[in-house]
Amino acid sequence: MPSFVSENLLVLLIAVPFLGILAVVLARRDQWARYLAMASSLVSLALSLALWQAFDPTVPGMQFVQRTAWMPTFNVEFAVGLDGLSMLLVLLTTILTPLSVLASWSSITTKVKAYLSLILLVEGAMLLVFTAMDAFLFFMLWEVTMVPMYFMIVVWGGPKRIAAGLKFVLYSLTGSLLLLVGLLGLHLQAGDTFDIQAMAAATIDEDAQHWIFLALFLGFAIKLPMVPFHSWLPDAHSEAPTAGSVILAGILLKMGGYGFLRFCLPILPEVSAIYSKYILWASIVAILYGGCLALAQSDLKKLIAYSSISHMGFVTLGIFAFNEEGIQGSILQMFTHGVTTGALFLAAGLLYDRTHDRQIASYGGLHRPMPRFAVFFCIFCVASFALPGTANFMGEFLVLVGTSYGSLLMVVLSMGGIVLAAGYMLWTFQRVVLGRPASSVAASLPDMTPREIATLLPLAVIVFVVGVFPAPLVETMAATVAQIVERAGNVALLAVPGG
């Protein structure tokens, strides 16, 4: 690989989606636009794999760093870099984007170039969010992600798309304003700098720390989302087109967990420890409450959406356990949740494309007309409740190990969420795939096409590979997680109940 390319791999990766948007917009035909969007997303995936190959997992700090003066008057830089946390989320982003394009190949027939451009815009914005080393750059791209998701919902969404889109924007704007307040507070307290590493090294006034933490926490909690800030998520998922749901659940929700690990724990460790016991209990509530709500759903996409609330509860549970096992589990859970939940939304979209019906009761007996679909759906259902040998198992296991150091009661309660997940996923599989077809339409549905198999097969492979051999992902993040825990220092003792 030429030295210029190797030294600028990260910048090239960030640039590719935006160049892809230009190519898609200039395409003369919709079919050409589809091929160009797919090519762009595959190039991004190849570059991210090259970055992962070149990434040194033993180095805890940022790698592939690029800094350029942007607005020197305000001490703002275009600064990007990768550590173990960023690397895994960049991989997740570049894996799900081409699959989202492929899933939209025939289902999106109006304003195709605009739709594909929005997918690439989300990818480019997310890559910058996960690699930004400047808080201003981070916030600006955080805001940009809201725009394409809103238009994907209100233009290509379901019958209640306008209300769902407005709800998504109102919640997102509220969280963004709180996040802005917190980041400006850090900027002033850290000596008028937006450099995230400089913020982590600065001494911040004790009274200011509480207010800054609360503003940042609420901004990230709304995006995650944590209970009780979750009500926007099921509506957005149920009305969004398939690719929108995949991107929202698979990538955008991870911004909240990433924010906790990038800002709250490293920069405000003492205050994070003080509030952690309350956040841990809120995480338990989210795990159980999200599971109960999922169990009560009759709409397939809403069921998957509520399951995300439960699964993201494990993410915050691991983060605020304040130990390496818990944080490693939470990062692994973010990655594997993106894979399995993204796959479930792709499967739900596959059915919706055939019937335009999201009701679980409308199906049944699909193992006969759609045997290939039944196999894939079974894989992702069992992976969703963390069956050993599938991707989600190791993340949830590490979270429970990390939590056990502080409270066995929390471990027992959170395991109730796993039981609930097994209940609603197996019951869903039974109602959709097993038994007798609910109608003549369900009995005659065509099985998966080669394109649809190509959409789900990579995720099925990842489910088993990560489930059996998660070591490469754990090793990638290990040094970064150790640095986060070391930064927290002795305050980790305060972070667990009874600590």
Per-residue pLDDT, 442: 85
What the block records as the tokens of 416 is 């109730």
pLDDT averaged over every residue in the chain: 91
CA 279 to centroid of chain Cα atoms: 20
Cβ atoms 373, 448 nearer than 8 A: yes
Q: What is the pLDDT of residues 26-79, one digit of tens each?
A: 998 999 999 999 999 999 999 999 999 999 998 888 999 999 988 888 889 999
Confidence of residue 497 (pLDDT cuts 50, 70, 90): very low
| Region of poorest pLDDT, from 100-104, 201-205, 443-447 | 201-205
Please report whether residue 64 resides in a domain. Answer: no
Please report whether residue 330 resides in a domain. Answer: yes
Please report whether residue 390 resides in a domain. Answer: yes
Please report whether residue 128 resides in a domain. Answer: no
In percent, the amount of the chain with pLDDT more than 70 equals 96
Per-residue pLDDT, 489: 55
* Mean pLDDT calculated for residue range 297-318: 93
* Mean pLDDT calculated for residue range 185-189: 91
Say whether the peptide bond before residue 225 is cis (omega within 30 degrees of 0): yes
Identify the DSSP state of 251. I
Per-residue pLDDT, 410: 94
- Domain residue limits at 374: 271-499
Per-residue pLDDT, 191: 84
In this predicted structure, the answer to whether residue 495 has a pLDDT above a threshold of 60 is no
pTM of the complete model beyond 0.85: yes
The residue length of the chain stands at 499
In this predicted structure, the answer to whether residue 492 has a pLDDT above a threshold of 60 is no
Per-residue pLDDT, 203: 83
Cβ atoms 410, 403 nearer than 8 A: yes
Per-residue pLDDT, 493: 46
Confidence of residue 499 (pLDDT cuts 50, 70, 90): very low
Please report whether residue 87 resides in a domain. Answer: no
Q: What is the pLDDT of residues 346-385, one digit of tens each?
A: 999 999 999 988 899 999 899 999 999 999 999 999 999 9
What the block records as the tokens of 238 is 């149920």
Cβ atoms 262, 196 nearer than 8 A: yes
Maximal C-alpha separation, the chain:
68
Per-residue pLDDT, 6: 55
Per-residue pLDDT, 486: 84
Cα 485 from Cα 201, distance rounded (Å): 15
Per-residue pLDDT, 491: 54
Cα 116 from Cα 110, distance rounded (Å): 11
In this predicted structure, the answer to whether residue 494 has a pLDDT above a threshold of 50 is no
* Mean pLDDT calculated for residue range 313-331: 94
Q: What is the pLDDT of residues 156-184, one digit of tens each?
A: 988 889 999 999 999 999 999 999 999 99
Question: In whole angstroms, how far apart are CA 208 and each of 175, 185, 269?
Answer: 19, 8, 13
Instruction: Quote the number of domains for the chain.
Output: 1
Please report whether residue 388 resides in a domain. Answer: yes
In this predicted structure, the answer to whether residue 487 has a pLDDT above a threshold of 80 is no
Confidence of residue 237 (pLDDT cuts 50, 70, 90): confident
Buried b (16+ CB within 10 A) or exposed e, 288-312: bbbbbbbbebebbbbbbbbbbbbbb
In this predicted structure, the answer to whether residue 216 has a pLDDT above a threshold of 50 is yes
Please report whether residue 423 resides in a domain. Answer: yes
Q: What is the pLDDT of residues 432-482, one digit of tens each?
A: 999 888 888 888 899 999 999 999 999 999 999 999 999 999 999 999 999
Per-residue pLDDT, 85: 93
In this predicted structure, the answer to whether residue 498 has a pLDDT above a threshold of 80 is no
Residue with structure tokens 């394009």?
101
Q: What is the pLDDT of residues 397-412, one digit of tens each?
A: 999 999 999 889 999 9
Please report whether residue 483 resides in a domain. Answer: yes
* Mean pLDDT calculated for residue range 190-199: 89
**Cα end-to-end span (Å), the chain:** 50
